Amino acid sequence: MYAAEVLNRETTEKFGHGCPDDWVERRVYTAHPVIGVTMMAIIDLALLGPIGISVWALQMMWIPIHAAGVINGIGHYWGYRNVDCADASRNISPWGIWIGGEELHNNHHTYPTSAKFSSKWYEFDLGWQYIRVLALFGLARVKKVIPKPRFVSPKTHPDSDSLAALLAYRHDMMSTYAIHLKRACREEAKRLRQARMSDSKLVESARRWVPTDASRWTEAQRARLIDICAASESLRKLLEMRAELTALWSRSTVSSDQLVLQLQGWCQRAEASGVRALEDLSLRVRCYAA
């Protein structure tokens, strides 16, 4: 399938952006597509004798099974998520060792240009160790890694630097927003129970799905959202203003100055909302440093 699709010029232009087009690519890899696996078979045979062919067969099976079956199968079904990105990618385990870091698949999908897949202190990416060793000998150069949020004293009003920082740290912002939404669902459910309101169970159950990306809500969940917002004014405000905030980095036709004004308006309304979570989120925006 790959061999057939590589002849499709539209596909190679769309997905081959940024790939090298040097002498080695043209005269070796493209001109002799089977030279790599052939050399590997010869080396295995030379080093291990007849059993080397069996080793070569296992090596040939390794990539299809792990890339398609494990990474694109299990990695989109089972595991944990650091960031609620639009797709279903998940981190299979916090230690990326046996597939060179691809176990941290949610991190990879969220930050596809990062050379380092690990983002939490307890995560380990073996592939990153290879890159660092190569860089030590001048054989590799790291271009991008997962951005770590920087904070300064809060600005009176967000400016262009605040906007640039928000765009760079938007996944951090959305993860923080999700934490506040979970907490709000729990607090609102407790308030409704104390008031003996029947909506308390509905709001409590929303804690499992309301913090996730709205594009992943089911039709049944969207239908329940009307009752949830009617039962809790603070949750309604949190959800509405989350939608407004995420729209900031999807408006490609709006100028930077207009986006700065929209961000300033968002912060003003968040701080005047009377919802503590929105006030804290606005403060975070004003403290982000580009």
* Residue 21 confidence (pLDDT): 84
- Looking at the fold, whether 75 and 116 belong to one and the same domain comes out as yes
- Looking at the fold, whether 88 and 132 belong to one and the same domain comes out as yes
Coil, strand or helix at 76: helix
Number of domains comprising the chain: 2
In a domain, 154, yes or no: no
Give the DSSP per-residue string, 149-167.
PEE-SPPSS--HHHHHHHH
What's the mean pLDDT in 78-89? Answer: 87
- Looking at the fold, whether 47 and 86 belong to one and the same domain comes out as yes
What is the greatest pairwise CA distance in the chain?
78
- Domain termination site, one of 100, 120, 136: 136
d(CA 102, CA 95): 9
d(CA 231, CA 206): 12
- Looking at the fold, whether 132 and 166 belong to one and the same domain comes out as no
In a domain, 74, yes or no: yes
In a domain, 127, yes or no: yes
* Residue 260 confidence (pLDDT): 93
242 has a pLDDT exceeding 90: yes
Q: Which domain holds residue 17?
A: 2-136
* Residue 197 confidence (pLDDT): 82
- Looking at the fold, whether 188 and 68 belong to one and the same domain comes out as no
pTM: predicted TM-score of the whole model, two decimal places: 0.74
Only one residue has tokens 């900031």, namely 248
Nearest 5°: phi and psi at 47? -80, -35
- Looking at the fold, whether 110 and 179 belong to one and the same domain comes out as no
* Residue 117 confidence (pLDDT): 94
The pLDDT tens digits of the residues spanning 3-46 come to 888 889 899 888 888 888 889 988 988 889 889 999 999 999 99
- Looking at the fold, whether 179 and 224 belong to one and the same domain comes out as yes
Type of residue found at 13? E
* Residue 252 confidence (pLDDT): 67
Tell me the two tokens of residue 79: 């595991």
